[in-house]
Amino acid sequence: MLSERSERSERSERSERSERSERSERSDDTDGDTTALALKILAAGGFGVGKTTLVGAVSEIRPLRTEELLSEAGRLVDDTDGIDRKVTTTVAMDFGRITIRSGLSLYLFGTPGQDRFWFLWDELAQGALGAVALADTRRLADCFPAVDYFEHRHIPFVVAVNCFTGARRHDEYSVLRALDLDPGTPVVLCDARDRDSGKEVLIRLVEYAGRMHTARLLDSVR
C-alpha cells in the first residue's frame, strides 16, 4: 500500500511539474508575441525609381511582387525617358519584411509609381509609421508627388537618392534644396540594389519617424 501511494504521489508530482512547464512555455510565447514590434513602412517615388528593387534587396522573405510587362498602350502615358530598358511595372504593390534587431521588424510596402495607380496609395498608407521617398536625380521632378503626399498627410519620410550608374552625383544638401524640403528632413544617398545600403535607409527612417511621433505626442499634452 505504501509503495502504491508513493508511486501515485510521484506520478502526481511529475504531472504537476509538466503542467507548470507547459504554462511557463505558453507564457513565454505570449510574452514574445507581445513584445515583438512590427512597423509598417512605405517605399514610394516616381516610375522606375527603384522601389521594387529596394524592397527585394532588403527583404528577408521572398518578396511579393505585382509586376506586369509594359504594354504598347502604356507607353503612350508612361514616361520612360532615361529608363528605356525598363520592361515591367508594379500595378498594385510590393511587399517584403526585414528584421532590424531582435523584437523589431519592418513590413515594407512598395507603391506603384504611375499617376493612374495613385488611388492605391491611401490604402497602403493606412497605419504607416513613415515612408521612403525614392529619388532619381536624372528625373528629380518625379519625386515631388511622393514628397507632397507625405507632407500633406504628416507622414514622416526620408528622401533616398538612388545613385544609378552613370548618373551625376549630388550631395544631400543640394537635393534638399532642389526638392524644397523642410529643414531636418533626412536625405540619404543609397544603392537600392544593395541590402546594407537599403537597411541603412530604413534605420534612418525609423529613427527620424520615432523623433517626429514623440515630438507630436509631447505637443499634444502641453
Q: What percent of the chain has pLDDT over 90?
A: 48
Averaged pLDDT, 32-49? 81
Question: In terms of Cα–Cα distance, which of 202, 196, 200, 195 is closest to 56?
Answer: 195
Question: In terms of Cα–Cα distance, which of 102, 150, 101, 147 is closest to 128?
Answer: 150
Averaged pLDDT, 216-221? 85
Grid coordinates 512605405 are at which residue? Answer: 42
Question: Phi, psi (5° rounding) for residue 45?
Answer: 150, -175
How does residue 46 score in pLDDT terms, banded at 50, 70 and 90?
confident
For 184, the 3-state DSSP assignment is coil
Residue 86 has pLDDT above 60, yes or no: no
How does residue 88 score in pLDDT terms, banded at 50, 70 and 90?
low
pLDDT digits (tens, 9 = 90+) for 58-72: 999 998 876 555 555
DSSP state of 70: P
Average pLDDT, the chain: 80
How does residue 216 score in pLDDT terms, banded at 50, 70 and 90?
confident
Grid coordinates 493606412 are at which residue? Answer: 126
| Confidence (pLDDT) at 211 | 94
Averaged pLDDT, 146-158? 95
Grid coordinates 508575441 are at which residue? Answer: 33
Q: Which helix (H) or strand (E) holds 10?
A: helix 2-35
DSSP state of 177: H
More confident residue, 210 or 46: 210
Q: How far is CA 197 from CA 57, 192, 194, in A?
A: 9, 7, 5
**β-pair type (94-101, 104-110):** antiparallel
Question: In terms of Cα–Cα distance, which of 104, 120, 60 is closest to 207?
Answer: 104
